[in-house]
Amino acid sequence: MLCMAIMNNRHRYFLLICFLLVLFILQGCASNNPPYKLDSGEQVILANGNGSVSCSWKDLLAQVDSLLDDVLPYTKDRSSGIDSMVMLHNKLEDRGIRTALVAVNVEANEPFLACITVETTDRGLVFLTLVPQSLGEGQSFNRSEYIQAVYLEKGEKIGFVEAKFALSGDYSWYLDYLDRFYAAGDFYNYLEEYNKTIEKNALRLDSIDSTNEEIRGYLDDLQYYTEQRRIAFNRRVERYNSYIEVFDAQVEDYNFELSQAERLTNGTSEIIYAIKEDYSYAFVPIVLLPQVIPNVIPNVIPHLPTAAYVDTLISSDDSYNQIPKPDRQSVEKFERITDDNFVVNDFKLWW
């Protein structure tokens, strides 16, 4: 009876078996996808292309750069970034680069931050993300500045460095980078204060020089000429020239310190990228070097020839008490923006 029932309904049983088989296959495929949702509410589906090829760090950045125009429009400044990272993941997989989606600090099946990772041939596992397009446009970013290397270490604060400046994927390198970054920032603040000191000293010397020029204008008129006035004026000029020598020495010292800052940064403008728990962002240049102050205050050549007003000018105060260079230890420190970075409690890779 049973056999006859099966034979009579074999087509139905065959269809049922096919349905169960397809369902099993779909469940198996779905298990390779993370249980997260896009901002639209749709389930995340990771492409499983020919992603078996490893590439170098340089080649990876070139590939990501070529995809910027496609992916950047999907970035959002108040989002985990999962939409854009899934798209970037899938496009890299389609190009044959084995890529994983990374979910950082997942709570209730929602990652706080999403990025991607690739096993490179020269640096091993590296993590990347993209700066949201709206933020980059507000900062007038060039293409390379959108691509950020991500540094993840459980129990430590997340790190971001513009990818082209990232020399390693190790978290220890990132910590050393931070030390150098803030040292350069502190040096920059010191140079700013030193620059202000130079400007104040220059203003005082300009005032003395203007008075000397006015006296010289009277001395050029022979009716004001007396030997006594000539001697007094020449003494003023000699003092002024000695002030100039002191000022020149300070300018030379400042310019030397400035050259140290240029050497420290190798003429680059490194950018560090900090993400805060409130989803706000900060972009800070490692050091914006002040302009070199040229030695433009000329020495005054003593002249001969100078009236009651002239005597007042000649006897006016022309002392120059130079403001000393600032103390580096007392100068306000560069803001430690990365102190606000969130701590990485956990992260998971989805290949």
- Residues 124, 208: one domain? no
**SS3 per residue for the chain:** CHHHHHHHCHHHHHHHHHHHHHHHHHHHHHCCCCCCECCCCCECCCCCCCCCECCCHHHHHHHHHHHHHHHHHHCCCCCCCHHHHHHHHHHHHHCCECEEEEEEEEECCEEEEEEEEEEECCCEEEEEEECCHHHHHHCCCCHHHHEEEEECCCCCECEEEEHHHCCCCCHHHHHHHHHHHHHHHHHHHHHHHHHHHHHHHHHHHHHHHHHHHHHHHHHCCHHHCCHHHHHHHHHHHHHHHHHHHHHHHHHHHHHHHHHHHHHHHCCCCCEEEEEECCCCEEEEECCCCCCCCCCCCCCCCCCCCCCHHHHHHHHCCCCCCCCCCCCCCCCCCCCCHHHHECECCCEEEEC
* 156, part of any domain: no
Among 151, 171, 206, identify where a domain stops. 151
Same domain, 190 and 250: yes
Same domain? For 54 and 120 the reply is: yes
Please tell me whether residues 231 and 116 are part of one structural domain. Answer: no
Question: Do both 328 and 196 map to the same domain?
Answer: yes
Q: In this predicted model, what pLDDT tens digit does every residue of 172-223 receive, in sequence order?
A: 999 999 988 888 888 888 988 998 999 999 999 989 999 988 888 888 776 6
pLDDT for the residue numbered 255: 86
| 91, 220: one domain | no
| Statement to judge: residues 89 and 137 lie in one domain | yes
Domain count, the chain: 2
- The predicted model scores a pTM of 0.70
- Find the mean pLDDT for residues 48-56: 76
pLDDT digits 0-9 by tens, 258-307: 887 766 665 444 433 333 333 333 333 333 444 445 554 454 444 433 45
Whether 18 maps to a domain, the answer reads no
Which domain, by its residues, includes 128? Answer: 32-151
Q: Are residues 330 and 193 part of one domain? A: yes
**Domain co-membership, 213 together with 308:** yes
